[in-house]
Structure 1
Amino acid sequence: MYYIAKRLAFYVLAAFVAITVNFFLPRLTPGDPASTIVATYSTSLNAESLAALKAAYGLTDEPLLQQYLTYLGNVLRGDFGRSLSNFPAPVMAVIGAGFGWSILLGLTSVLLSFVLGSVLGAIAAWRRGGWFDKLTPPVLLFLGSFPYFFLALLLFYVFCFKLGWFPMGNAYSSVNPPALNLAGVGDILMHLIAPAFTIVLVSLGPWTLNMRNAMIGVLSEDYLTLAEAKGLQPRRVLLSHAVRTALLPNITALGAAVGAVFSGQLLTEIVFTYPGLGYSLMRAVSAVDYPLMQALFLIITLSVLAANFFVDTLYVLLDPRVRTGGEA
C-alpha cells in the first residue's frame, strides 16, 4: 500500500502541474482567442462588440492569479467554458459527443494489439529459430513502418471504396446513434472494423517484437530450467512462468498506449471521419477553438497519467518484488 500511495501522490502532483501549464501557456502567448477569431474571419467589430464577445466566451481582464484560481475551480467542476466553434455549446458537451467513440475505437485497437502481439511474440520466442519466428516479426515490423495516414488511406480505398466491404465513414449508418440492440451493435461494429484494423496493423509489430525479446530473456532463467527438469508440462511452463514474467515490459507499454488513445488515433479518425476526440481536436485547431483545444489537451495528459498509475498498481499484483521494494 505504501508503494501505491507514493505513486498516487506523484501522479496527483503531475496532474496539478499539467493543469497549471494548460492554463498559463495559451495566456502567455500574444493576443487572445477573441481577437484571433476576429482577425480570422475578418469581422468588423467595435470595442463594445469585442468586449461583449470576450464576455460571452468567458474571457476577462481580471488579474492572472484570479483567473487561475477561477480556472482551478472550474476544472474541478468539469467546466471548461463554451466552445468557440460550436458556440454556445459547452466544451464538455462537445467532448462528451466524441468521448465514447474514442474510447471504443482506442481501447478495442490497443487491447487487440496487446493480446495478439503478446501471443505472437510468445509463440515466436518459444519456437525461436523456426519459420514462424523468422517470418512473423519482420513482416509485422515492415507493416508498422508505414505511416498511419498512408495505411489508413490504402485500406479505406481498397476495402471501403472499391470492395465496399465496410462503411465509408462515421460510427453508424443512421443520423442519430442506433439503439443498443443486435442490429445497432452490429452496425457500430461494422463501422469500427476498418479504423480499428488499421491501428492494430500498424502497432502489432512492436508488441510482438517486445514480447519475443522479453520471452527469450526469461526462457534462459534458471528457474524455468528447474521447472522443466521437475517434469512440468511445457504448456504450464510457458503460460504460468515464462509468459507471466515476460508480460511485464509489455504491460508498461500498455499504460502508455492506453494513455495515448485520444491522440494516437487522430489521423485514423480523420481518414475514416470517425467522430471521436481526435477528429474533434483537428476541427478545434482548424477553428482556433482555444477552450476546446485546452480541454482536449488536458484530457489527453490526464489519461496518460491515469493509465500509468493503473499500470503501476497492476505491477504490484504481477511482480511481488515491486511490492517488497516499495514497502521497504
Structure 2
Amino acid sequence: MPYLLRKIVILLFTLWVAATLNFVLPRLVPGDPVSVMLAKYQGRLDPSAVDALKIAYGLNDLGSPISQYFSYLGRLLHGDFGRSISLFPTPVLEVIRMALPYTLGLVGITTILSFIIGSALGLYSGWRRGQAGADALTPVSLFLNSMPYFWFALLMLYIFAFQLKWFPLSGALDPFPGDAFSAGWWSSLLRHAVLPAFTILVTSVGGWLITMRNNVVSVSSEDYLAFARAKGLTERRILSRYVFRNALLPSFTSFGMALGFVVGGAFLTEIVFSYPGLGFYLYQAVVGLDYPLMQAIFFIIALTVLLANFAVDLLNVLLDPRIRESRA
C-alpha cells in the first residue's frame, strides 16, 4: 500500500506540473488570440465591434497572469475548457468529442498492430540470428525506423491517391456517406483510413522490431537459459517460458507509454491527410493561437501518458516477480 500511495502522490504532483506548463507554454508563443482574431477583419472594425467580439470570445477581461492561472485551474477541476477561438462558438469539449474517436480508431489500432507485428518479428530476428532471413530484418527495420513518416505519407498520398486514385486525398468520410454505422458509412471510413494507417504502421514497426530483438539478444546470454537447457527443456519451451516473457517486459513498458501518446494523434500524418483527429486540431489551435483548445489537448495528452505510465508500472509489479519482491 505505501508503494501504491507513493505512486498516486507522484501521479497527482506530475499532473499539477503538467497543468501548470500547459498554462504557461501556449502564452510564450508570439502574438495573442486577440490580434489573431482581429487580423481576420484587417482592421476594418470599429471599437464597439471589437469590444463585442472580445466579449463573445471571452477575451474582454483577461486579468493578470496569476488570476488567469487560478481561474484556469478552477475551470480545469470542473472539466470546463471553455470555447474554441478558432472554431467559435463550439465548446472545446465538443471539438475533442468529435476528433477523439478518429484518433483512437486510427492511431490506437495501428499502435497495437505495429507493436504485435514488430515484437513478433523482433523475437524471430533475435532468436534466429545468424540466419539470412532473420538478419535481413535488422537493416530493413533500421531503414523504416529512420524514414521520415511525413515524407512517406506524402509519397503514399501522391502515388495511391493522386496518381492511381485508389484512395481519397483527404478527410475521414465522404461528403454523403449515408447513415452513421451503415455499410456505406463504414466503407467510406475504412477507405479514408487505409493510407494514414498504413503510413503509421510501416514507419513504426521497425522501432518495435529493433527493441524486441535487442531484448532477446540480451536475455539469450543469461545464465538461467543455460540452466534450462541443462535441465533438458525444449527450445520451444525455453523460448515461450523464459525468453519471450523476459524480453517482452521492457517493450511492454514502452508500449504502455506509446498508448498514452495515442490521444495526441499522429501529428504530421493527420496534417498530411487532413484527417480530423486530435493531432490535426492541435495544429489548427497552434496556428490560430487557440489557447482553450491547445490547453485541453495538451492536458488530455499529459493525463493519458501519466495514467498509462501508472498502469504499466502496476502491471509490471504483477507480471515480474523480481519487482514484486523488491516492493514487498
Instruction: State TM-score, norm by structure 2.
Output: 0.90
Q: 3-state DSSP class of the match of 2:251?
A: helix
**More off after superposition, 254-263 vs 175-184:** 175-184
**CA–CA separation in structure 2 for the residues paired with 1:231 and 1:302:** 48
Partner of 1:3: 3
Q: Which residue of 1 aligns with 2:37?
A: 37
Q: Which residue of 2 aligns with 1:92?
A: 93
SS at the partner of 1:315? Answer: helix
> Which amino acid in the other structure matches residue 20 of structure 2?
T
Amino acid at match of 2:231: K
Gaps of 5+ in 2: none
From the superposition, tell whether residues 185 and 16 of structure 1 become closer, same or farther in structure 2 (CA, over 3 Å).
same
What's the CA shift for 1:15?
0.8
Shift, 1:155, TM fit = 1.3
- Distance in 2, Cα, partners of 1:49 & 1:174: 35
Counterpart in the other structure of 1:239: 240
Distance apart, 1:52 and its partner CA: 3.1
Change (3 A) 1:162 1:29: closer
Query: What is the aligned partner in structure 2 of residue 275 from structure 1?
Result: 276
The question of whether the paired residues in 2 share the 8 Å contact of 1:248 and 1:315 is answered with: yes
SS at match of 1:260: helix
Work out whether residues 256 and 309 of structure 2, in 8 Å CA contact, stay in contact via their aligned partners in 1.
yes
Q: For the Cα contact (< 8 Å) 1:281–1:296, is it kept in 2?
A: yes
Equivalent position of 1:258 in the other structure: 259
Aligned to 1:296: 297
Indicate if the aligned counterparts of 1:167 and 1:190 stay in contact, CA closer than 8 A.
yes
SS of 1:255 mapped into structure 2: helix
Instruction: String of CA shifts for 1:126-160, please: whole Å, max 9, x gaps.
Output: 10111122201211211222211110011122222
Q: Which amino acid aligns with 1:200?
A: L
SS across alignment from 2:165: coil
Would you say the 8 A contact 2:18–2:302 is kept in 1?
yes
User: Any conservation in 1 of the 2:103–2:265 contact (CA below 8 Å)?
Assistant: no
RMSD: 2.3
Moved more, 17-26 or 172-181: 172-181
- Are residue 24 (structure 1) and residue 24 (structure 2) matched? yes
Say which is worse superposed, 47-56 or 134-143, in terms of deviation. 47-56
Deviation at 1:228, TM superposition (A): 2.7
The 1:176/1:88 distance shift into structure 2, 3 A limit, reads farther
Instruction: Go from structure 1 to structure 2 and tell me whether the alpha carbon gap of 1:294 and 1:245 turns closer, same or farther (over 3 Å shift).
Output: same
* Displacement after TM superposition at 1:179 (Å): 2.7
Aligned pair count?
327
Which residue of the partner structure matches residue 12 of structure 2? 12
Is the 8 Å Cα contact of residues 122 and 215 (structure 1) preserved in structure 2?
yes
Question: Could you tell me whether the CA contact under 8 Å between 2:111 and 2:259 is conserved in 1?
Answer: yes
Which stretch shows the higher mean deviation, 267-276 or 157-166? 157-166
